Every structure is written in C-alpha cells, then in structure tokens.
Amino acid sequence: MAQIPPGSIPARTHPSARARRALSLLTAGVLAAAGVVALAGNAQAVGALGDAAAAKGRYFGTAVAANHLGEAAYASTLNAQFDSVTPENEMKWDALESTRDSFSFAAADRIVGHAQSKGMKVRGHTLVWHSQLPGWVGGLGATDLRSAMNNHITQVMTHYKGEIHSWDVVNEAYQDGSSGARRSSPFQDKLGNGFIEEAFRTARTVDADAKLCYNDYNTDGRNAKSNAVYDMVKDFKQRGVPIDCVGFQSHFNSNSPVPSDFQANLQRFADLGVDVQITELDIEGSGSAQAANYTKVVNACLAVTRCTGITVWGVTDKYSWRSSGTPLLFDGDYNKKPAYDAVLAALGGSSGGGGDGGGTGACTATYTQTSTWNGGYNGQVTVKAGGSAITNWTVPVTVPSPQKVSAVWNGTPSTSGDVMTVRPTWNGSLAAGSSTTFGFTVTTNGGTSAPAVGACTAS
C-alpha cells in the first residue's frame, strides 16, 4: 500500500499506554473487593456482527466512506460491529485514475489502513465498471482501451496486493430485463464479449491469492440476467478462465423484494464451483418487516456452504446512497434497529450482546467497543435519557468468562452473581434526551465475545 497521509489513521496505541490510560481513569471503589470483577458469561452473548458471523465461518462487512472515518460514532460503530470493509467509492476508476496513468490512492489507503489497524479484512470494489468512469476512458480506441483496462487492473491490484480478500473484477456488465444481453459500455462496445475474460485473466496474473469476483444487481433470484451470468460463470469454469466468486449486490425494496428463490439461486452458482458473497446488502423499510427480510437474507447465506460472507452497503441510514429508504442496520443516530437484532440473532448471537440494552423508555444503554489491543479492550456504554429528565440510572453488564473487568470509570459497579451493575458516580442527573457515558477495561484471557449490556432503568 502506498504512503498513508500522516494523521489520517489513528496511531495504534501501545497496549501498555492503553492500560495506563484506563488505570488513570479508575475511580475509587471501582474494583471489586478482590481487585477484579469476574463475570461469568451469557453463553449466547455474541456481540459484534463480525464475531457472530466468524463463529459461522463467514465475514460480516460494510461499505465505508473515507470521509466519515473521522466521525466518532461512525468509527466506533464500524469498529465494534464489522470485520470486513468495502470502500464505497474510493476504489472506483474515477477515484483512482481520473487522469490516465496517474493514480490517487490516498482515500482508499485511508480505508485500508483503518481496516488493518482494527484487524478487518477488505473487499476491493471495483476494477472494471461502466459507471464512475472518467471521461478519458470513453474517448479511447479499442487498442488503447484494452491497454488502459489492463494497466488499471495491474496498477491497482499491485498497489493492494496481499491486502484484499476479494476483488470485484467486473461489475454490472449485463442488462436488466428479459434479454440477458450485455450492457453497453466502452469496454463492451469496443472490446466485445471477451473483455470480461480478459479482465479476469489479467487480474489473476497480478494477484494469485485474491478471490476474483463478478458482481451484479438484480441477479439475486433466477431471471434472465442471472441466467446470463450463470452461463458465463459456467463457461469460465469449463474453459479454465480464472473466476473464484460471484457477488450478489442484494439491494432490496418493495419493488425489488428478497426473491423467494434467493437461496436456491445462490446454491446453483455455488454448485458451479465458485464462492458466493452478498456484497451490497440493503433493504428499504423499517421495524419488523425490514427485520424479517434481513433474516431471510442471512439465513439464505448460512444455508449455502460456499456463501462466504455478507456486506451491508453502509454503516448508518444517515449516509446510505438511498437514505430516505432507511435500508441499513443502524439508524441515523447510530441506534440499532430491529433489523440489527434480527441479523445478530440469525447469525447465532444475542441481541443484548455488545449492544443496545434498550430500556424502560426512561433511558437507553448503548454499547460500543472504543479500543482493542492484544489481550484486552475498552468498552463504553452511552446512557441516554428518554423523553423525561432522570436523576438516577442503572445498567447491568455481563462480561463472558474467562474475560474479566479490570477497571471502570464514570460509573460505580457492584457485582451480584455474574452481573456487574453500574450506577452513576457524578453523572446520574440527565435532562430529557441527554446522555452520559461510563467505560470499562476488560482483560480477555482468550475470550472473544462482546459484553452483554442489559436494559437501562431509571429513577
């Protein structure tokens, strides 16, 4: 990867520095009498989506925009929940090579650097696509265009060699509708049907380890378009053209609902000998209906052995490409939606784990992991008053064994059995709608589950 702009990536703090910072925040009486609060776990509590998916042998990712990484709530939600990222726009041709043979990797590098600093994997999106293509590409003749396409693939994949788990080599090359025909594009129109094969062959010569995917939308069920892609993949596999995976974008709404044959369609592609990935999932709607649709998608992936992961197309409804349809798992204030709980449950986690404990209506408790290091992490719970002021609050936190809480700040813990109940220190009075936070340090002792944060109660 090229140079990362100074200051663009949070410096990785040495664990001992983290520990010192946590200890300096330690309030009197914070530790239990033994000096450590040991909490037996809720065995079902798997907090982050990424952890829950990993337990099922999958990744759970999100699209990320570099210009939001500096927003604390965006970054903390991303860091707490996902284990794979896809740059939403930063690896597209217009972002990387707006001028021929002059490459600008800074924004994409920021995302890759952030992901690496948090132990997340990266999907590459996308090398050859008719959209977000700089004007100069369309102006080239066939010979020049072939050379430009192969050069773009080579330069970009070389830059990120070893850092991308899967590349969308070609995106959206087929038309919608009943024709099953290729879409008109500079590549199709000037290089002909062979451009996809050529792109994949070039990609394989550059990075033999990255999975090479074909990615498209409206291919989620059986239809003319998915049949055409299926025929292409079958032909590639028969002739030894290198292709490893097919991405199903999965942008759903009432006009384009989750197809009833979604799982069967994924399975028929997998049966050709490729992995399948859900690459840009978002489902317009809200509440239980939206949650039920997300459940269908996750269950379909889990039922197909070669479905290796799911990526949602954004962290929060606030920044979705179709924000008004509220299609994502977190609302514009980063609150978990019913769809989040449904996805976590479908992945085998529990909705209390790692997240929003909900509450009585008087207050809510929302968990985020604020930092992590080898052997430990810091967690933070935001306590928010509902529509009325409160003068006191209580939040139960269960940290799964063998993890142990070693410090708590801005809150007073007491333990009963396996539950650490946290009450305010100085921060009990909250005006309607206002919030405070408390934090804690956990020594993992090899454990990986996130803490389960229960419901906030207020008085």
Catalogue the active-site residues: 280
Residue closer to ligand G3I, measured from CB, 133 or 241: 133
**Alpha-carbon span 74 to 314, nearest angstrom:** 10
Residue closer to ligand G3I, measured from CB, 113 or 327: 327
Least Å distance, CB 280 to ligand G3I, is: 5
Q: Of 343, 347, 315, whose CA–CA distance to 330 is shortest? A: 315
Pick from 97, 207, 280, 341 the residue near ligand G3I by CB under 6 A: 280
- With a CB cutoff of 8 Å and minimum separation 6, the contacts of 160 are 1, 108, 112, 122, 124
For 70, the token pair is: 């500096």
Chain positions 180 to 219 lying near ligand G3I, rule: CB under 6 A, are: 217
User: What are the start-end ranges of the H helices in 82-183?
Assistant: 93-96, 106-117, 135-138, 142-159
Least Å distance, CB 402 to ligand G3I, is: 41
Least Å distance, CB 191 to ligand G3I, is: 21
Sign of CA dihedral 20, 24, 27, 28: positive
Q: Please give the size of the binding site for ligand G3I, defined by CB under 6 A.
A: 8
Pick from 8, 27, 44, 89 the residue near ligand G3I by CB under 6 A: 89
Q: Of 123, 343, 135, 289, whose CA–CA distance to 211 is shortest? A: 123
Least Å distance, CB 107 to ligand G3I, is: 10
Least Å distance, CB 131 to ligand G3I, is: 5
The type of residue at 405 is: V
**Nearest residue to ligand G3I, using CB?**
321
**Alpha-carbon span 306 to 74, nearest angstrom:** 31
88 near ligand G3I, rule: CB under 6 A: yes
Pick from 5, 43, 72, 131 the residue near ligand G3I by CB under 6 A: 131
249 near ligand G3I, rule: CB under 6 A: yes
**Alpha-carbon span 389 to 435, nearest angstrom:** 10
Residue closer to ligand G3I, measured from CB, 325 or 357: 325
- With a CB cutoff of 8 Å and minimum separation 6, the contacts of 99 are 134, 136
Least Å distance, CB 89 to ligand G3I, is: 5
Residue closer to ligand G3I, measured from CB, 89 or 299: 89
Residue closer to ligand G3I, measured from CB, 170 or 274: 170
Q: What is the CA radius of gyration of the chain?
A: 24
176 near ligand G3I, rule: CB under 6 A: no
**Alpha-carbon span 25 to 371, nearest angstrom:** 15
Mark 305-334 with x for binding to ligand G3I (rule: CB under 6 A) and - for no binding.
----------------x-------------
Q: Is the peptide bond before 219 cis (omega within 30 degrees of 0)?
A: no
98 near ligand G3I, rule: CB under 6 A: no
**Alpha-carbon span 108 to 311, nearest angstrom:** 17
Least Å distance, CB 248 to ligand G3I, is: 11
- 3 state DSSP class of 414: strand
Residue closer to ligand G3I, measured from CB, 172 or 356: 172
284 near ligand G3I, rule: CB under 6 A: no
Which stretches does DSSP call E strand in 203-256? Answer: 211-216, 245-248, 251-252
Residue closer to ligand G3I, measured from CB, 217 or 440: 217
Number of Cβ within a 10 Å radius of residue 143? 10
- Residues lying near ligand G3I in the complex (CB under 6 A) are found at 88-89, 131-132, 217, 249, 280, 321
